[in-house]
Amino acid sequence: MPEMPEVETIRRTLDDKVTGRKILRVGMLLPRLVKWPSPGEFQALVTDTVITWLARRGKYLLFYLDSGIVMVVHLRMTGRLFVQTEWTDDRFARIVFELDDAKRLVYADSRTLGTLYAMPEAELWRIAGLHTLGPEPLSPEFTPGYFREKLRGRKGKIKALLLDQKVIGGLGNIYVDESLALAGIHPERAADSLREEEAAKLYGAINTVIEQGIQYGGTSFRDYRDGEGGRGSNQHHLSVYGRKSQPCKICGTPIAKGEVAGRGTHYCPNCQK
C-alpha cells in the first residue's frame, strides 16, 4: 500500500507522539510478522526501551531505541501504524506497543504481509531490501546524472525500472504511473530508449510527483491512513492512477488501464508515447 509519500507522512504524524516515549509492553497478536530475530527475542529487545528517533528510508520506518537497537517496520500492502488515544480495538491490530503515556502504538495489517525487525544498527544489513535500497527522490544522491546512468543499457521497460527499489528507493505503483504520465512517457518504453530530454523530464516528474504526494499527506484509496488515523488527499490530485476510462486532464482521451511489469498500469494513450 504505502509508498514513500505515505510512509513519510506516517513518520511525520507519528514523530512527536512516539519520540521520547518508553515502550512498556509489546502485544504479539500475530508473531509471524516478525522476521528477525525470533518473535520472542524481538519482544525482549524492544520492551523497556525509549524511542529516541523515528527515521525513514524508502518505504521502511526505523525506530531508533536508546538501547542501540533499531526496530524496522515495512508496511507492504496494507500495513498501518498509528497511535491510539482511546483504547478501542482495531479489527486488524497485529502488534501493539504500550507506551508510558498510556497510549498505544498499533501495527495493524489486514493482509498480514507486513514485516518487522529489531537489531543493532550495525546489523541493519540483514534486511536485504533496506541494504540495497537506491537513492530516494528529492535526496541529494538522486541526481539527473545518476538517473541517466541507471537508464543506460537497460533493455527492460521503464516502468519496471522505476519500480526497482535498488534503482530508486521509495517509488511504487501509484507514483510510477503518475511520474510517467507527467513526463508523457509510455510505461512500456525500453528504459534505454529515452532521449536525453525525456530522461530529464522524467527525472523532474518523479521529484514533482513525490513532493506533491507528501504535500497532500499521501494517497488514501482504501487502507492507507497516517499516524493519527487520518486520510491523505493526494487521491484528488492524480493524473492517471485510478482514473480508468475517465478523460485525461490534458487531452480528454479516456485513461487506459493495462498490465505492465506485472502491475495494473494507468496511462493516457494519447499523451504518453
Tell me which residues touch DNA (CB under 7 A).
1-3, 6, 32, 58-59, 74, 76-77, 92, 110-113, 128-129, 153-157, 160, 163, 165, 172-174, 191, 218-224, 261-264
CA dihedral 240, 143, 171, 192 (to 10 degrees): 70
Nearer to DNA, 8 or 223 (CB): 223
Gap between the Cα atoms of 201 and 179, Å rounded = 9
Supply the minimum distance, in Å, between the C-beta of residue 48 and DNA: 29
**138-160: burial string, b at 16+ Cβ within 10 Å, e else:** eeeebeeeebeebbeebeebbbb
Supply the minimum distance, in Å, between the C-beta of residue 243 and DNA: 12
Supply the minimum distance, in Å, between the C-beta of residue 94 and DNA: 10
User: CB within 8 A of 92, min separation 6: which ones?
Assistant: 78, 80, 108, 109, 110
Supply the minimum distance, in Å, between the C-beta of residue 214 and DNA: 13
Supply the minimum distance, in Å, between the C-beta of residue 159 and DNA: 9
Nearer to DNA, 3 or 8 (CB): 3
Measured CA angle at 222 (ends 17, 163), to 5 deg:
90
Gap between the Cα atoms of 202 and 64, Å rounded = 34
241 SS3 class = coil
64-70, Cβ contacts within 8 angstroms, sequence gap of 24 or more = 64/121, 65/23, 68/120, 68/121, 69/45, 69/118, 69/119, 69/120, 69/121, 70/118, 70/119, 70/120, 70/121, 70/124
Nearer to DNA, 110 or 208 (CB): 110
Gap between the Cα atoms of 176 and 215, Å rounded = 17
Question: Which residues are designated catalytic?
Answer: 2-3, 59, 263
Nearer to DNA, 193 or 252 (CB): 193
DSSP state of 272: -
Enter the C-alpha cell of residue 47: 520492551
Q: Which amino acid is at 233?
A: S
Nearer to DNA, 155 or 195 (CB): 155
